[in-house]
Structure 1
Amino acid sequence: MEPTRFVLDSGRLPNDHEDARLIRWYEARGGDVRDLHYLSLGETWQAVAPGLTAALTRALPAHAHGYTLSPYGMPVLRDVLRDYITRTHHLPRPEAAQYDVAVSQSGTRAAMSDFGRLLLEGADGRGTPPAAIVPSPGWDYAGVLAPLGYRILAYGLRPDRSWQPDVAEIGALLARAGSGCLLVLNPQHNPTGAEWEADTVEAIVRTATTHRAAMLLDDAYYALHAPGTSPTNALRVLVTATRETSVPWLATRTLGKQFHCNGWGIGALTAGPAVLAGLARVTQQRSYGCALPLQAAMANWLRTADEAEAFVDRLRHTYADARSRVTRRLHDDLGFPQYAVHPGSCTSYLRFRVPTRFIRSGSEAHYRRLCLAAGVLPGAGSMTNPVSVPGGQDDGDEAYVRLFLGQPGPLLDSALDRLARAGLGW
């Protein structure tokens, strides 16, 4: 893919990104990155919402090019986001429900790290480090929280439970973790594409509240559910369940996934006012407000509510069509049995099992390199690290990869054709 080449080069400087290393390996063996079908990272570099880029090309207010004196993001975007989060999550007004909304200005990962730092301020620094309890398979929460000093504990998501979390398992981990722990929730789950059941999320939040555990809700894919369905609304559960408690919580909702603008680093942070104030203080230890022209453009775009929602709705249908198309071809053309493919119903990914003959040491790494040699780079089946997440890897005879569904249909078909020709089916 030509766009991949434009964002890859680091010159003589080292690049520890796993995909970058793999692509360099591919090039060293004669591969042309312009011909590579890159299906690992949830990115196309060429599908940003047209209305959003149009908002960026229009004249922006002069003050958008300077500092902001509010630590919660550009005020106009903060106000727009407060209305947007309240409306799309069907929440009571903030002043009636003890929550508020701020702007995530330098990416969700940074906001999660700042929340972890904020919680550590209350720890006495003696004894066992606090625990972060994360889903596995899952996103790279360990990569954010472990460097801060958190012990990483994993709760498993397994095919025999349709990738749903087990409330009892989480309760046992909370009891084991003790005071000061942080529970991470991701109900539109990356990478399985499983939508966690609302009753399960409610039970988990009640259990965490009983244990007085802090909670981090990753709502990155809240808007990217199956067309015509209502997503599990974990934020509303959090707002309701914690209204009479002092349990700290934070919900992050990037706008990059739903508008194809990951590089903007903009999203919503929802929490109680005290938590948002603490986050602002921690954030300002390393950075002032940033990306203010992008914030101004995003505010203008979100004001065109019908246009923005129409784009997201089209994206939902695009992912649903691709999910159906890829699932059918994996079964019909590459011979994968039903149990080896989990189509999911949300997010931008589809996950499937690595054929057993290609598994080495319980890992998908060998299969990914074989796919790459055929001109296709799928993603790892999980971004949790089985070394730092005890019990976080799949059974030794199972490994998974994921495919990003946001590329055009012909490219997805071409990628599957390449895998079939290379004998990489079941």
Structure 2
Amino acid sequence: MESLQAVLSSGQLPNHLEDANLLRGYEADGGDIGNLLYLSLGETWTSVAPGLAAALARPLPAYTHGYTLSPYGLPALRSELRAYIKRTHHLSDIDTDSYDVAVSQSGTRAAMSDFGRLLLTSARRPTARPAALIPSPGWDYRGVLQPLGYQPLFYSLRRSETWQPDPEEIHSLLQRAGPGTLIVLNAQHNPTGTNWAPEKLRSIIEAATTHRAAILLDDAYYALHAPGTAPTNALRILLENAHQSQVPWLATRTLGKQFHCNGWGIGALTAHPLTLTCLSRITQERSYGCALPLQSAMTSWLKTSESDHFVNQLRHHYAAARQHVTERLHQSLGFPGHTVHTGTCTSYLRFQVPARFLRNGSEGHYRRLCLAAGVLPGAGSMTTAAEPGNQSPDEAEAYVRLFLGQPTSLLDRAMDRLEQAGLGW
């Protein structure tokens, strides 16, 4: 791992990120950060797509070092992304008036927040606390939406249902939620690696449009699926079902996950043209366009066949790493079959924390033991496992998540360290 000074030093200022605090404590206890195997966030700090880095190193147009007068991102990149979304989501037969594409140029988290704000400011009948339906386990959608004033309502993904969403549960929550509801969908699901079934997703979108709930589609891992498998094309399903309903919707697709450039903050925002127009006004309240040199390099990169080849190679790596780590967990560390969900998409693998390491139903103690052994896995969910309605007593389980984007030799070293520290099943 990179030195603490390089990736998290804040001087005398506090850093409240959980991983940062864990790593500082590890170093304070004499741990060697340079020898630590960091498998928590989906980050390597070392493996940006070579062709993309080369595009940034070449001379860039002088105007990219100034402001852009377009609120939708660098025009060349917006045009390239529109073609890219159309091609990769197979939208050639979809009415082009029903959607458009803008550049997400300061991270998709910020775009999600802007969309939440837009819904609140444009609500005809504002409620004190509109509901946000959020998958649990899941990514930190609550951290984005709750500060805006949304009341999180969690819909459950359970092992007994192979981590698939239950349309009937969501329909019931939509009936309870009332006006102003926003539902978050993540079809290539982080952290379980499950590809949600198209028929379930279609049913959920139909229910959302019936209840006039806004839809936030997180397509962060759409490109990262096992070779030979078809990812559920949530954007196409949404366009087929929501284009006549007039419910507001936004699909976010980061490019950082598929090109190992998270810090660039570049992605695609797909929505109805009117939604993008209104969203741009919210965005410009806090920022002009930014990172235009990065946007210019991304434009050049997306035009090359090398960009598709890089993603394809990444799919093969993740699939091989997923299978290899699963076998190590079963064979070397003794984890039973049901405790490891291999998954078919995303860049993560999730496995259950042995019961003897649980403290108050949390994975925190196990993570700290892994850290002491020189490996830091991620929390199994960025939502709280004990959320009301999330788990029944017989399903009270905790998980950790491993990032698979590191070389196989490093992943093997991590498994060796966990085995030697007695952290198997």
Could you state the TM-score of these two structures normalised by the residue count of structure 1? 0.97
What CA distance in whole angstroms lies between the structure 2 residues aligned with 1:385 and 1:251? 25
Per the alignment, residue 313 of structure 1 pairs with: 312
Helix, strand or coil at the partner of 2:366 = helix
Per the alignment, residue 82 of structure 1 pairs with: 82
| Deviation digits for residues 168-213 of structure 1 (CA, Å, limit 9, x no counterpart) | 0000001100111000000000000000011111111111111110
Q: What is the 5 A alignment of 1:159-170?
A: 159-170=159-170
Q: Structure 1, unaligned stretches of length 5 or more?
A: none
Per the alignment, residue 416 of structure 1 pairs with: 415
Structure 1 residue 94 displacement after superposition: 7.0
Aligned-partner residue type, residue 382 of structure 1: S
Per the alignment, residue 390 of structure 1 pairs with: 388
Of stretches 276-285 and 239-248 in structure 1, the one that deviates more from structure 2 is 239-248
Aligned-partner residue type, residue 350 of structure 2: R
Aligned-partner residue type, residue 159 of structure 1: R
Structure 1 residue 123 displacement after superposition: 3.3
| Deviation digits for residues 364-422 of structure 1 (CA, Å, limit 9, x no counterpart) | 000000000000000000011357x5334685741100000001111100011000011
| Deviation digits for residues 247-268 of structure 1 (CA, Å, limit 9, x no counterpart) | 0000000000000000000000
User: Is the contact between residue 5 and residue 33 of structure 1 (CA under 8 Å) also seen in structure 2?
Assistant: no
Per the alignment, residue 241 of structure 1 pairs with: 241
User: Is the contact between residue 73 and residue 289 of structure 1 (CA under 8 Å) also seen in structure 2?
Assistant: yes
User: Is the contact between residue 127 and residue 179 of structure 2 (CA under 8 Å) also seen in structure 1?
Assistant: no
User: Is the contact between residue 94 and residue 100 of structure 1 (CA under 8 Å) also seen in structure 2?
Assistant: no
Q: What is the 5 A alignment of 1:225-304?
A: 225-304=225-304
Q: How many residues align structurally? A: 424
What CA distance in whole angstroms lies between the structure 1 residues aligned with 2:271 and 2:92? 14
Per the alignment, residue 48 of structure 2 pairs with: 48
User: Is the contact between residue 100 and residue 271 of structure 2 (CA under 8 Å) also seen in structure 1?
Assistant: yes
Per the alignment, residue 401 of structure 1 pairs with: 400
Aligned-partner residue type, residue 322 of structure 2: R
Change (3 A) 1:127 1:95: closer
Aligned-partner residue type, residue 14 of structure 2: P
Change (3 A) 1:393 1:108: farther
Q: What is the 5 A alignment of 1:14-413?
A: 14-92=14-92, 96-123=96-123, 127-304=127-304, 306-386=305-385, 389-392=387-390, 395=393, 397-413=396-412
| Deviation digits for residues 115-141 of structure 1 (CA, Å, limit 9, x no counterpart) | 000000133686541000000000000
What CA distance in whole angstroms lies between the structure 2 residues aligned with 1:127 and 1:286? 25
Aligned-partner residue type, residue 323 of structure 2: S
What CA distance in whole angstroms lies between the structure 1 residues aligned with 2:335 and 2:396? 16
Aligned-partner residue type, residue 327 of structure 2: R
What CA distance in whole angstroms lies between the structure 2 residues aligned with 1:290 and 1:98? 27
User: Is the contact between residue 384 and residue 392 of structure 1 (CA under 8 Å) also seen in structure 2?
Assistant: no
User: Is the contact between residue 2 and residue 45 of structure 2 (CA under 8 Å) also seen in structure 1?
Assistant: no
User: Is the contact between residue 125 and residue 179 of structure 2 (CA under 8 Å) also seen in structure 1?
Assistant: no
What CA distance in whole angstroms lies between the structure 2 residues aligned with 1:394 and 1:400? 16
User: Is the contact between residue 359 and residue 397 of structure 1 (CA under 8 Å) also seen in structure 2?
Assistant: no
| Deviation digits for residues 62-93 of structure 1 (CA, Å, limit 9, x no counterpart) | 11000000000000000000000000000137
User: Is the contact between residue 354 and residue 400 of structure 1 (CA under 8 Å) also seen in structure 2?
Assistant: yes
Helix, strand or coil at the partner of 1:174 = helix
Of stretches 96-105 and 307-316 in structure 1, the one that deviates more from structure 2 is 96-105
Helix, strand or coil at the partner of 2:77 = helix
Change (3 A) 1:93 1:12: farther
Helix, strand or coil at the partner of 1:154 = strand
Of stretches 101-110 and 396-405 in structure 1, the one that deviates more from structure 2 is 396-405
Change (3 A) 1:93 1:268: farther
C-alpha RMSD of the superposition: 1.4
Change (3 A) 1:3 1:189: farther
Helix, strand or coil at the partner of 2:293 = helix
User: Is the contact between residue 185 and residue 215 of structure 1 (CA under 8 Å) also seen in structure 2?
Assistant: yes
| Deviation digits for residues 20-49 of structure 1 (CA, Å, limit 9, x no counterpart) | 000011111110110110000000011111
What CA distance in whole angstroms lies between the structure 1 residues aligned with 2:222 and 2:89? 9
Helix, strand or coil at the partner of 1:25 = helix
What CA distance in whole angstroms lies between the structure 1 residues aligned with 2:45 and 2:108? 19
Change (3 A) 1:80 1:122: same
Structure 1 residue 95 displacement after superposition: 5.7
What CA distance in whole angstroms lies between the structure 2 residues aligned with 1:126 and 1:270? 25
Could you state the TM-score of these two structures normalised by the residue count of structure 2? 0.97
What CA distance in whole angstroms lies between the structure 2 residues aligned with 1:94 and 1:207? 22
User: Is the contact between residue 356 and residue 397 of structure 1 (CA under 8 Å) also seen in structure 2?
Assistant: no
Q: Structure 2, unaligned stretches of length 5 or more?
A: none
Helix, strand or coil at the partner of 1:334 = coil
